[in-house]
Amino acid sequence: MKRQLKNLFASKQQKESAAAELSSDKIPQHVAIIMDGNGRWAKSHGLPRIAGHHSGMKTIKRITKAADRLGVKVLTLYAFSTENWKRPKEEVEFLMKLPQEFLSIELEELHENNVQVRMMGYKEDLPEHTLRAVEAAEERTKHNTGMVLNFALNYGSRKEMLNAFKEMAAAVQTGELQPDQITEELYEQHLLTRTLPDPDLLIRTSGELRISNFMMWQLAYSELWFTDVFWPAFTEEHFHEAIRGYQQRARRFGGL
Ligand code: FPP
């Protein structure tokens, strides 16, 4: 409680000094986040689940700015998984409206800040209105050279990997590819992340300790950071705490 109050009243100066404690030469290039706990946050405030998702959308703005300020190059946010269609229809419909709402409010500011908005996931299953909003944002920001804000929307790692296997198997079948030519690098060219570096840091909010079908190949050597804080309550200070934790890790990538 004390900590929460402290965060609530943290001044701009305090926030800047928290950021200043971070070493600027060890900022993760790619941060991926599993934004979890919207429903439980809503319940704890006596609100319907969708209010949690709406509040979670506001956290996206906060953390996008924080990441950009620190010099993060790619911020990937797990907004909707290939399994999330199993949720009640009303909740899915609400979630599918959020990209549109978020982008109608934030796109211009993102664009002014040179942010590239991208979507990673299976576009074919999205409702027309969601797809239109996302594609318009991608188109508007495609020449920007700043941070990539990558929304994992209708994304699932197993599907991504299976598709990659199928594409490579088809190439083997036609004789274009020999099985021994299949390397990590070639396989990665078939993943949805083909233009992105692997995440250096994965953050999952809400106290769950799972990967939930998120970037399973790409996370092989990522540092993992779990926090009990629900996504709607996740602040810039919490984000800095995760980055600070990351900076204290020794990354060996299997070496010594
Ligand atoms: C997980 O919490 C969260 C989601 C499945 C949705 C995340 C979506 C947003 C934060 C907003 C998306 C907005 C844009 C702009 C793409 P949960 O519902 O599983 O929470 P619970 O585990 O507490 O029930």
* pLDDT, tens digit, 9 for 90 and up, residues 126-151: 999 999 999 999 999 999 999 999 99
> In the CATH hierarchy, which top-level class contains the domain 28-156+198-247?
alpha beta
Q: Which residue's CA is minimally distant from atom 1 of ligand 1?
A: 36
14-47 burial: b if 16+ Cβ within 10 Å, else e:
ebeebbeebeeeebbebbbbbbbbbbbbbeeeee
Model confidence at 3, pLDDT cuts 50, 70, 90, reads: very low
What separation in Å is there between the alpha carbon of 212 and the centre of ligand 1?
13
Model confidence at 20, pLDDT cuts 50, 70, 90, reads: low
Per the annotation, where are the binding residues for Mg(2+)? Answer: 36, 223
What separation in Å is there between the alpha carbon of 232 and the centre of ligand 1?
9
Long-range contacts from 26-29, C-beta under 8 angstroms, 24+ separation: 26/246, 26/247, 27/70, 27/71, 27/72, 27/243, 28/72, 28/199, 28/200, 28/201, 28/223, 28/243, 28/246, 29/72, 29/73, 29/74, 29/197, 29/200
Residue ranges of domains in the chain: 28-156+198-247
Ligand 1, pocket residues at CB < 6 Å: 35-40, 53, 56-57, 60, 79, 84, 95, 98-99, 102, 151, 206, 231
Say if pTM beats, i.e. exceeds, 0.85. yes
What separation in Å is there between the alpha carbon of 235 and the centre of ligand 1?
16
Q: What is the per-residue pLDDT for 21?
A: 79
Q: What is the mean pLDDT of residues 46-75?
A: 98
Q: What is the mean pLDDT of residues 36-65?
A: 98
- Residue 66 above 90 pLDDT? yes
Closest-lying ligand 1 atom to the alpha carbon of residue 84: 5
Residue 202 phi/psi, 5-degree rounding, is -110, 130
* pLDDT, tens digit, 9 for 90 and up, residues 200-230: 999 999 999 999 999 999 999 999 999 999 9
Per the annotation, where are the binding residues? Answer: 36-41, 49, 53, 81-83, 85, 87, 204, 210-212, 223
Reference 203, options 245, 233, 253, 232; nearest CA is 245
